[in-house]
Amino acid sequence: MNQGMTDAKPAHKRRWRLIAGVGFGVVLVGGLALVALAPRDPLFHGKRESEWITNIVYGISLSEDRNKEQAQRWRDFGPEGLQVLERGLAANRAPKYRSFYEGLGKFLPNGCMRLLPTPPPKTVGGTRHIVADLLCRMGKDAYPAWPAVARALSDEDPWVRARAITFFTYPENEKAFLNQMPAKEKKKLLPQFIRAVEDVGWCWNVRNNAALALKYYPDEAALVVPPLLKALKDPSPYARLSAAAALNRVDPAAASKAGAVAVVAQILQNPDYNLSGQAAYALRQFQHDADLAVTALIEALHGTNSSVVGASAVWSLEHAFPRHADRIIPELRKAAERNDNAGGYAKGALKSLESKAAKTER
């Protein structure tokens, strides 16, 4: 019996030594991980990089002059300043440590996990979002930073992901950076944009901006069309509008078959005149369904939604559908009798179209 008790004591001690050893190992590994994941904070022009980054002001909260001043200041820093912004965009290593922490939690006891620092909570719209915004506003001068921005397309913060997409689509015309990238690198980003347009999170900006990006992939219609078709039913009218416009650009026939023009026409009735005004502008691109587009624009012209929307409708009717002049001119004459913005625009458009029609008859 004494022998059994003697044997039990060493076993008990060994068990506690093992537990203590595991705990020490966890703390050691955790400490090493924190050191490895901790960002460097070197000096830049006499201040710590982190101080420069935290002093960047979100562009939308600045006046136009101050916004230009801030962007120009960082342009003047040259390549070194751009590298600071790249590091600022990737400064939060919490996702990596969080993954490490959650992975350990699957097989280590709670007592050991309490020895490790708890990862910080997820943030939304923080410093990385402001850095991404500044990079967008810097235009061509920020293009060399695109690999860092591409990595931000996978950021845990949806606002960062949304703004990172804008970096590649700004200024949302043929001059967009996506149209200037090497074809091979551009294609590598496509899965990221498809994933973003199918995002099920609360931030509709991610899906909206991703739809804007997909319109720059007409050569990849087989991959782009299916997610855009699904996006025509997105809960956000902004995302639906962007998806319809992108689909019409990538594959007009598919857009016509799916009724994309009807999606945009419905958005014309939205009381948010900024949104409905964008819909009026977007309809000018639906040449494959010109009859339906003109009908929707005429209804918006005479509607009561907003004179701003009516003015946008006039602009599209005047400049985008010359073959429908015989149908458009009588409607503009009616609208020209009004004493609002739409009426004023209608008078100018009517004069222009009637002049063109007279020259054609000669």
DSSP structure string for 301-340: HHSSS-HHHHHHHHHHHHHH-GGGHHHHHHHHHHHTTSSS
Residue 8 has pLDDT above 60, yes or no: no
Tell me what pLDDT residue 307 has: 78
- This prediction has a pTM of 0.79
- In the predicted model, is pLDDT for residue 123 greater than 60? no
Please give the single-letter amino acid code of residue 79.
P
CA angle 350, 356, 359 (to 5 degrees): 140
For 155, the token pair is 């950021």
Q: How far apart are CA 188 and CA 214, in angstroms?
A: 13
Structure tokens given for 176: 């967009």
Query: With 60 as the cut, is the pLDDT of residue 2 above it?
Result: no
> Can you identify the CATH homologous superfamily of domain 182-258?
Leucine-rich Repeat Variant (1.25.10.10)
- Of the candidates 241, 219, 237, the one whose C-alpha atom is nearest the C-alpha of residue 228 is 241
Instruction: Judge contact between 93 and 37, C-beta under 8 A.
Output: yes
Q: How confident is the model at residue 126 (pLDDT cuts 50, 70, 90)?
A: confident
Say which residue, 49 or 108, is predicted with more confidence: 49
Share of residues in the chain with pLDDT > 70 (%): 79
Predicted confidence band of residue 304 (pLDDT cuts 50, 70, 90):
confident
139: confidence class by pLDDT, cuts 50, 70, 90: very high
pLDDT of residue 35: 44
In angstroms, rounded to a whole number, what is the distance separating the alpha carbons of residues 149 and 142? 10
State yes or no: pLDDT of 186 exceeds 80.
Answer: yes
Lowest mean pLDDT of 8-22, 245-259, 298-312, name the range: 8-22
Cis ω before 237 (30° cut-off from 0): no
Where in the chain are the domains? 39-151, 182-258, 261-362
How would you label 119-132 residue by residue, b for 16+ Cβ within 10 Å and e otherwise? Answer: beeeeeeebbbbbb
**Residue 29 DSSP one-character state:** H
Report the b/e string of 45-62 with b at 16+ CB within 10 A.
Answer: eeeebbebbeebeebeee
Say which residue the tokens 């009004």 belong to. Answer: 338
